[in-house]
Structure 1
Amino acid sequence: MALCAGCRSTLPKKGFLSCATCKAKYDCECANISSKQFEQMDQPKKDNWKCPECCSKLPKTGNTHTPVRQAASFNTANSDDTPQAYDTPQSYVTTRKKLKSPTPASSSCNDGGNYLTESSLRDILKQELSATIHNLVTAQLNSINEQIVGFNESMSFINTQFEEMRAVIEEKSAVINQLKKENIHLQASVKDLTTRLNIVELHMRECNVEINGIPEHKTENLVNTVVQLSQVVKNNISVDDIQHATRVAKLNKSTDKPRSVIVKLRTTKHRDALLAAVAQYNKKNPEDKLSSHHLGIGGARAPIYVSEHLTPGSKSLHAATRIKAKEMKYRFTWIRNGKIYVRKDEFSQAILMRNEDSLKLIV
């Protein structure tokens, strides 16, 4: 079933035309032909018929046969004043001159005033903006350059100060390191010298005994008192065995205790014998230990203690050792030949206290 190329409806059996170019089929209505015209068309005309679409694609022909053009051609051909201008086919083409756009100069002259075009306005604005931007950028760059110069000067000054300070610090660090080394060496030397001095003092006091608790009297005779004490503990010492006896100043002057008595005996044997006799006497008489009454001194009863004559450093160490031993529940603390010993019980080994660091051994 054939369809109309224009309205896409079904074509009648006879009332349609077929394009000689594109072979498309159109009914009479879409071909813009009445039924009467279709009936008057002979077969050759129907075979050469072209559809409106194909006709629109054909090139246009001239309009030489229009009545107006013919009259114009005839009149100009018979005119005496004007030469014949339409003898050729181009003579029927109407030509028009292209109007030139007026220049700013001519316009200003014709108008009698200033004339500003868009291009000139753009140029003026461009120049003004360029000048303004150039000035602003130049000012900003100058300011930035000044700041950079100031920063460079400041950094140079700071760098100079830093280098000077670093040199000073390095010098001081070298001095400090040297002083540290010297300090360590001096501390070791002081410790060594203190130990040696303590040993020397112990050797100087190896024949001495220290007696505490003897009441003081203005008319006292310390040599006779020491002889009396030796007789009480049954260790007879003659006057010739006592080389020197005197009282020493108090370490703590605020105490009411009497000053200690230092007795220098002739040999260490006499010292050890006296110390052993006093310890034996106190052990045998726990209820009536050695006191001032045994020496015939009146007044209140005062206990008397006899011990080795220690150096000040040894006395401080002995006091600290007794406190630490009491805290750790050590039973025995004693002195032998100027050396301090501790023992936890009868079955443990004795510990020698050489210095304050040895207190860490009491655990």
Structure 2
Amino acid sequence: MPGVKCGGCGRFIATQDGAKCSKCLELYHRACVGIPTKAGIAPNWRCPECKKHIARDNRTETPIRGSAQSPSTDGATMSTEADSDMSRSPGDTASEPLPRLSVAADTNLHAIVVELRAVRDEIRGFRREMEVEMAQLKAALGFCSTRMDGLEARVDKLEQQATAATGSTSSNGLERVVEDLKRELNSRDQDVLANDIEVSNMPETGAENPAHVIKAIGHKLGVSINDCDIVSAERVGGRRLSVTSSTGPTESRPRPLVVRLARRDLRDQLLAAARVRRGASTADLGMPGPAQRFFINERLTKVNRQLFRRARDAALVQKWRFVWTKQGRIFTRKEPGDRAQRIRTDEDLSRIFGTANETACL
């Protein structure tokens, strides 16, 4: 049986060629335990190791494991062989124990060689099988790696497309939402200013009374304004000064006068009268100093005011004749009789005047 080793020498041994101990069931070469090749083995035969543990009976000999170098047998067998050897004559040519041991050793060596060759063949077969399996495994791993690379490339491409689509969609959507919110807030802010008017280019003095000024303007335009009709009247914005005189800084342009009226219809009457009386100046109000034209307009939010200025500049470049505001809304018309177009955003400026770049630079 391949793989069984001798209990004495540790080399491989065939089961049918060995001696099996009835006590420990170990298998030994015949030569290792001193049993002749053709001698029979008793069923209750014990190996030298097991004999060591038998109770002593005043005999001085003690079995020693690995007695292949000095072969010995049971007491009866050894004494019989010794008697037979002594009884032979010097000229007797019968086979002696040493040649028998050599034949046994050769037989065991041949069995070992056979077993080793069988083990080698098994190892070679196992190696060939492993090589085949390794080659198949490498091929399978290569195929899986190729597929994984392809899948990763496809996933990356899909992620990029999804990110681009989501990013552009979300970005455009967010931009539209922000623009709508800005437009709505601006519209609400403009509604808050529905009762306000703005008087620009009106000279500013240190001791002026804004309420008295607006009442004088209303009287000149034919609109009666009382104190109860004025909610508030004040100059807004910072003073714009420039050093143009040796006496000190002088005011380059007066701040606008903002008036909030109690009633919207009163504001509309004042604006309509101002349109009829174009060219009114400070001289008409009896104010000292050189005559200056002043202008009365409805008050706009900062966003609408900037948009109105850009619209006027674009209209001037494109030679559109009319740009005006009404109820906080900005309108334009190229020629009399043309349809009025409303301007809400810079996109409307580009669409109407076609001068997005020029208008942005003005």
Greater gyration radius: 1
Greater RCO, 1 or 2 (C-alpha within 8 Å, sep 6+):
2
TM-score (norm 1): 0.49
